[in-house]
Structure 1
Amino acid sequence: MKSSTFKYSVLTAGIVAAFGLNNITNAAESTAASTPTIKNVASATYKIGTVAQTAVQSNPVTVNITQSAAFSLTAKNDDDNAADDYNRGLTVTPKGRVTFSHTLTNSGNVEDTYTLNLAQGGTIPGSTQDASSYDLDTTNVTYTIYNADDSVKSTTTVTGTVFQNTNITLKPNEHADISIAAKTAGNVGGDSQNLTLSATSEFFTNADTTKATLTNIDNSITKVAVFKITSKVNSTLNLNDPSSKVTYTVTVRNDDTAPYAAAANNIVVFDGLPEGLRLADQPNLSVSNNATIVPGNEGKGTSNSNDSIRVTLLNLAPGETATITFDVQKDQAEVLADPKNTINHASVSLNLGENQTIYDTTDSTDTKQNTANFYPAADDSEVTDGTVSTTTGSDSAAPLVANQRAVSISSPTTKGIPTTTDDTTQVTHSAVIRNTGRETEGDQLGEIKFTITEGTNDNITQIPNTVEVVYDADDNPATANTTYTVTKDGNGDYDLSTAVPKNGGAAWTGMAPNSSVTINYKVESTQAVIDSTEKTTVTLVVGGQDAPSTGARSVENTTVVKGLKLVKQQALNETCDANASLVFTQADVAAKPGDCIVYKITAFNNFANSDAGFNFTDLVITDTTARFNDKAQVLTSSTTPAFAVKLAEVDNANDSPPNNTYGAAAGSTAISGTVPSLDPQKYAALIFSVKINPDGAAPGSI
């Protein structure tokens, strides 16, 4: 999300006619100006090794020479892209409500009136829009106007329909927060809906109609919990023995294989037993996930016995499963109609608000089931042949085994990575599995497994087929370790029992007591954002006979994107003296014609000293002269006044370059210089000066 911004200088008619209008578009920022305002941004490119990294822009710095008119419309919701003017990818339930936030700001020096409108649709690059939309009649819009000191001036709430053609008048530095509680219509899971908010300036309508309207596009993705319900019974029921009982296990999974799955809170699970069954005298009611389970008399039978269970306060994130168990007996007061084919059904309901409740059940004949209103076609079905449970009646005999097992995972890593990697700059993360028990671990299939789960940063990814484990049998540095490769199975698990030795090493026979295995895997980056991170979770999965339940089961490895930091500063030099004492700032500077502005651009390699191999090469620092054309004169050693262009390494972020070590120069299109190499934690700075034209600035926006 980002604001769209329009600017217009308040000048006399003669000056406007002389200067004209010049429009520059930078990312999602639109600017209209006739302005002697200098807004300056530096840029830089660089490589690590031979790989070009993501280009970097400095912060903007602004010199305000005259008054100007400007306004912006900002999309305020957090989303996956802070550099656009969209509220993108907010989640909403089917026929639900989602709130979009915007701010309209008068950042100029003149009072202005803005006409606001909502429209269905709007194009967001790279996104699709489905037929579903928003119901403006039931959408609520609240706009609050703030004085320049941020005190509330007024608050108004109307429907989306009434909101059309709403006029808001803002004095300079006043703003209005606009909150749109948008009600969706006709949407099911996975659908995408767009809504366009526009603001039209009366000032710009009179000055330049083509620049009078700003828009933000709101986008919501319909997400909803997707329930996978199973009901299984553990054994047969002996009808000749009134005390015979069986255990039912009901599992409810929030199925994350659906791309639109969302977290669900306060789920209700109900199981009403078929006629002829009741809860056992001691039902052993159990439920996971900190939910609440209570018995009841709401089943299919007619006796007074408890024959149902109800689970409440159940919360499930996508991928989570809740397990419910209870014991059942024959109800001697009732007839069991079909002893050979009695099916126990379970149902799930979830109140989504807005008078929308999902009802899902294992019973395809239940007329209350309404999942078609919430899921795409074919995303819900029922089978009653038991294919989801284990084979009934299988026999097994096993010797008594006494195990004392203890396994844990530890030692997470944090690594720095460039914005873009090649084979030489990928990083390796690790985690350590330790066997502190008395049994051999990982020699049996399913006994010791681990998973590697990536986070949400798609620009930093695990490299496939790079997982290796290093076995340390005795924690003795003098003893050679053995490296094995492990391949992910169809369930996404790495099973130690399938480890294959590298380079002719010994075959895998499991982890002896007091041994360890170090898991290693590689990570790469592509066009990642500096200072962004990726959290990768390595989870230990322990199974088999007498699996231990204590000990750490996961670690979180962190990848931090490092690279070039570029900071632009400016200083006012009223005397244009090359030896003047200067105070640099990133803030706006007020100047007048004839003053000089000194610019300093500081580049920093923010890789740690311990990050070997991450020195920058061919670091090109550039500031284009198009930003100064007809507004200011770029000074050099040969101009009057004289001010040398310098580029050199400096000790810290506050220092200015003492000389022009790297031969920076002011050309016809840019002030530029190249630093051949910049090591981690080192700085380089470029400095130059401009003199504002004595006659004031000419057209153009910088």
Structure 2
Amino acid sequence: MKPNLFQYSVLTVGVVAAMGITTANAATPTGGTSGSFNVNNKATASYTVAGNTTVQTAESNVVTVNVSETGSFSLISTVVDANPNDDFGRDRAINAQAVSTVDFTHTLANAGNINDTYTVNIANATGDDFDYNLGSSVIKYQKVDASGANTGGLVTIANGGTIALAPGEKALITVTAQADTKRVADANGILTVTAQSAYLKSKPSNSAVTTYTATNTDNALTKTPLYAITKSAITNLGNSNLDLNSTTAYVDYTITVKNEGNIAGTAISISDDLPSGLVAIASTEANYVAPTVTASNGSAAGTAVISNANKTITVAGQNIKVGETITVTFRAEKATGATATSSFVNYAVVRDNTKDDATANTPDIIDRSDNGTNPGGPTESTYEDPAKPLVGKDDNTNATVNTTNQTRAIAITPGANKEIALVTPNTINDVTNSYTYTITNNGTDVIEAAGTGNNANAVKLSIKPTATQDGGIIDNPNISIARVYVDANNNGKFDTGEIELTGVNGIYDLNAATPFVTGSTTTRKGLAPGESVKIGVQVASTGKGSNDPNSTTDNVNNIGDFETLTVAVQPNGAVSGTAAPTSTAGNPLSTTSTTTLQGINLKKYQIAANCDANPTVTAAAWSTGNVTANADQCVFYKLEAKNTFMDVAKIVNNLVVSDTLDSKLTYQTNSFSASPTATTQTLGQSIQVTFASIAANTTANVVFAAKPSQTGTN
């Protein structure tokens, strides 16, 4: 810290003359910067003369003296900044517990030549991580003289109290600041300490606060150990399965505790209480291996003690440096009478009283290897920084022991076949272009899709095209997957808030479709036995519907084209020693769905006949090819618009059929007919007919006639 040094100087030049009793009267200095002021005085006398009782008076001449005063003081923090290059002077460490205190020390010195009084204030700064309880904080000082010897005893003053110092005296100030709330590691609390000179403040030239106030900034950084506990278990089978039918089965546990905080942990306790299904193997039993304790960075390793009828393993009084790892190993076996319904879940627990190293029995940190703790008890997470979720992160996922009563079976419901319009954009989100598949865990004692990536307990979901109308081609370019999602409300379409899955080359991770672990927003729990998830697949299309092979814009007719999707559940490998399930009739792992493009298939037919009446012809007589007409005949046309959808719900609405006659043809009045009845029609050289709706698998027909001119010019 740099000292704040303020000085107000009055230079004295003058002569003091005394006649009788003299009195100094302060006068306001002129200009406010020179600091000099004059002291004017004169002598007076009173007397009586013998024979005369009247009191007589006399005055001397006035004499003037220039008085020189120097007002100067400093307030200096006596703590060395350990990190001079950072934004804060992190001078002191403070425990993370509530009601923790930290001492900040300062020296207030009167470097002037006059007696002065200083008002001392403490205040919380803004922009830091926590505040101090100013009402519970304490300010004490000890005066020392110029030689450094104490003068008087230790004095306590309130916030805003005063300290009077003679020239050359100093006050050694200790501010004991208290933070009432619990804090995370590395939280920085800033306290400002100010001293205000009463003498300098009184000078008119010193109207600004900065000219009579000195300020120090004190910082305290929250120091606490943070324990990252990882526990793992492996049975004699080389996995997590414990064979309850074997008398020689055992479980080897490994506990690692790493201090990821910013201060060493001292006299901590590491313990493990075994559940009802397990006991530690005693030294007199088969398969006994002595528990071990090792330290990675030079701390003395404690001793693992097995007690409480072989149900508790404890390492007491263990020290652990910052960044150091303590590793504990022990072996357990099934308890007498243990069955598959017994508990085989246990946790490593670290207990630490960060203020009192004498015992860990009254801890302010209780940290369990699954980030859990006893309800209502203290927990390490109180001191963890939410912005650093990986610091002090615990992991008990590999410590679970399962019995061998495991079966695996995953089933997917049969797929459905759907018809969609030739053009179905990605933006169309409807039950008509979405498929829903239910995937269910029908196994026992195995959580499916709990892992991700290439983990053995990961389950993939393959959604890929496998067939089209063209043999040997499996992917229809006009049919695509718009999105894959979790149909949480089972309404057959994607809704806001539902999970949209992302895949690579048609492979999706089923874990991403499962709910989060309770209390987590990052870890998904997979599918427990009996649980299911509904997967939605929305499709889109870009087909065309032209029957004109010579069209320059649309010479393809995709009506009737299809694509078959195969949706397959793909377990990655064995889970806890139980092999991946295979597809069976009762629990199929795959299904198919076929998407077919449908719409209006428009065809135009013609026939040459006499003009006097609409001809009655068989369907076979209408031709899509060339016909020959005599000069006195008419050409009768039939426009056939068929709704090719087979799904009765796929009604075509507002069908408009149009035709424009060649200039060499003349429309024949009264030749028009439509089936079903048209809602509107415009007739003549340009014909436009509107049908309100056409049911699935039905056809709308328009018939009219035109007469060609004999000259070809009409």
Tell me: higher relative CO, structure 1 or 2? Use CA pairs within 8 A at least 6 residues apart.
1
Range class of TM-score, shorter chain: 0.3 to 0.5
Q: Which has the larger radius of gyration?
A: 2
The normalised TM-score by structure 2 is 0.41
